[in-house]
């Protein structure tokens, strides 16, 4: 069997980490099995769908490296949904309903008040053909429901094991609204059937949808795909994710927090699994290690501190060839491999390199604790050229001349040269700062 999986986001908001994790799991499974990955935009909600969100979805997926092999938009397939609805009508599985939203809400409240499940009572099935015709002639437009069978629905889930829904526990789902707009439960099945999707991998909040969709697949005469329902990602605080949580959007993590795509992928692929949470070497490694059997049932927690730890790890092993264009995009001109090698071990986010570029290439105001000491040290600076041995050779001379040692020796020099208490090793920074700038700073001048 040739595997085909899909991610089907609605362009009604930004992707958050829960959405991108689902996309990632689909992509990893496809790559692990040699299958294909499809991006389908479920954009039938004309009022809320926006092109800007569709563009953002594509941008986020590409940034994560989740390239797709097939692409489709539901808004291009309305005629196909109409054909499928007619097919279900002919088979006696779709029937018209005329209740208003208010009437349906009243029924649900009444059922709940009596301790009954809020399942649709199928009152519309009692309408005679003449009654239906009369309602339509009066201007009423029906919404269309799918008549579920009286059999239990079951399947073997790759994550949740055997699932079973008894007959009568679910409402006949609405397929098409009064305005002719197909709903997710219906259009998603039609698409999956037409494109021959083999595995539906999505959040466990869709389990009830799956129960009714299995019957729609069968009614359409289409093979029922395999299913894997993933536990939903939660924040470390236990809070659920939402498209409204902009800080947890993929765009926010990338553009505001400066997160690396591989760090985010490593966290999302391994959280909630039996694998240790470590930064992968690349996406292929994550794909090769992917296995549904590793995924636990507990909700994986999205921990920002863990993410930043992985982010630092990804940066610390990033080669200069990969870093160079990105550093230049940050405005760092004529950046070289020596600079990257000096600052890379101290970065948690790539944009932090700008601070060290400023320190090594531009004017700063030195922090002088003892001007006599730093001036004396300036006089002991050796002539250039400098390399990574210069710092030790110079500080040995300063130590001999002043009798200072340890923190009392090194910290005043670091503060004068960088105005920072910590950072990259001074043996790598000093050659980048250079003789003229170092001497001026040690003497208290902005340089």
Distance of CA 135 to the CA centre of its chain: 47
Q: Is 123 in contact with 142 (CB distance < 8 Å)?
A: no
Using the 8-state DSSP alphabet, how is residue 161 labeled? E
293 pLDDT more than 80: yes
Query: What band does 242 get if pLDDT is binned at 50, 70 and 90?
Result: low
Q: Each residue of 380-408: pLDDT tens digit?
A: 999 999 999 999 999 999 999 999 999 99
Q: Given this model, what pLDDT does residue 29 score? A: 98
Q: Each residue of 297-343: pLDDT tens digit?
A: 999 999 999 999 999 999 999 999 999 999 999 999 889 999 999 99
Q: Each residue of 110-167: pLDDT tens digit?
A: 988 998 888 999 999 999 999 999 999 999 999 999 999 989 999 999 999 999 998 7
357: tokens are 């570029």
86 pLDDT more than 90: yes
236 pLDDT more than 90: no
Backbone φ, ψ for residue 178 (5° rounding): -60, -30
Q: Given this model, what pLDDT does residue 138 score? A: 94
Range 371-442 classified under CATH 1.10.10.350: yes
Other Cβ atoms within 10 Å of 413 Cβ, number: 23
Q: Given this model, what pLDDT does residue 432 score? A: 97
Q: Given this model, what pLDDT does residue 253 score? A: 94
pTM: 0.91
Q: Crossing angle of helices 435-442/426-433, nearest 10°?
A: 100
The closest of 193, 237, 235, 229 to 211, measured between CA atoms, is 229
Q: Where are the domains of the chain?
A: 1-98+142-317, 320-361, 371-442
% of the chain exceeding 90 in pLDDT: 90
Q: Each residue of 402-422: pLDDT tens digit?
A: 999 999 999 999 999 999 999
Q: Given this model, what pLDDT does residue 116 score? A: 84
Return the CATH number of the domain spanning residue range 1-98+142-317.
3.40.50.620
Backbone φ, ψ for residue 153 (5° rounding): -110, 130
Backbone φ, ψ for residue 32 (5° rounding): -65, -35
255: tokens are 């553009």
């Amino acid at each position: 069997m040739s595997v085909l999986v899909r991610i089907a986001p609605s362009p009604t908001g930004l992707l958050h980490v829960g959405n991108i994790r689902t996309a990632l799991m689909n992509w990893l499974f496809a790559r692990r099995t040699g299958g294909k990955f499809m991006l389908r935009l479920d954009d039938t909600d004309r009022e809320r769908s926006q092109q800007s969100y569709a563009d953002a979805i594509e941008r986020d997926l590409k940034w994560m490296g989740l390239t797709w092999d097939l692409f489709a938009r539901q808004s291009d397939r309305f005629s196909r949904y109409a054909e499928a609805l007619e097919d279900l009508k002919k088979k006696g599985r779709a029937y018209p309903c005329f209740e208003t939203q208010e009437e349906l809400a009243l029924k649900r409240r009444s059922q709940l008040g009596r301790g009954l499940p809020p399942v649709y009572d199928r009152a519309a099935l009692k309408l005679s053909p003449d009654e239906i015709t009369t309602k339509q002639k009066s201007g009423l437009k029906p919404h269309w429901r799918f008549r579920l069978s009286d059999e239990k629905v079951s399947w073997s889930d790759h994550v949740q094991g055997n699932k079973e829904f008894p007959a009568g526990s679910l409402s006949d789902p609405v397929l098409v609204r009064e305005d002719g707009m197909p709903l997710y439960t219906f259009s998603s099945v039609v698409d999956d059937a037409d494109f021959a999707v083999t595995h539906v991998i999505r959040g466990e909040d869709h389990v009830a949808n799956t129960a009714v969709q299995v019957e729609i697949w069968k009614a359409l005469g289409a093979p029922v795909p395999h299913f894997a329902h993933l536990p939903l990602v939660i924040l470390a605080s236990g809070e659920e994710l939402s498209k409204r949580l902009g800080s947890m959007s993929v765009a926010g993590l990338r553009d505001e927090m400066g997160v690396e795509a591989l760090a985010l992928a490593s966290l999302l692929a391994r959280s909630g699994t039996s694998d240790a949470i470590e930064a992968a070497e690349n996406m292929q490694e994550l794909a090769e290690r992917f296995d549904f059997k590793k995924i636990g049932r507990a909700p994986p927690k999205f921990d920002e501190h863990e993410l930043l730890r992985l982010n630092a790890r990804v940066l610390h092993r990033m080669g200069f060839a990969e870093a160079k264009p990105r550093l230049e995009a940050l405005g760092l001109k004529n950046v070289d491999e020596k600079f990257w090698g000096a600052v890379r071990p101290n970065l948690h986010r790539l944009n932090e390199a700008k601070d060290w570029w400023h320190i090594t290439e531009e004017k700063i105001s030195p922090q002088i604790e003892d001007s006599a000491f730093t001036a004396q040290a300036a006089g002991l600076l050796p002539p250039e050229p400098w390399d990574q041995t210069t710092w030790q050779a110079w500080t040995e001379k300063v130590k001999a001349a002043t009798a200072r040692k340890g923190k009392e020796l090194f910290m005043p020099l670091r503060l004068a040269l960088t105005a920072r208490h910590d950072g990259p090793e001074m043996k790598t920074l000093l050659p980048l700062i250079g003789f003229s700038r170092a001497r001026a700073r040690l003497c208290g001048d902005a340089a």
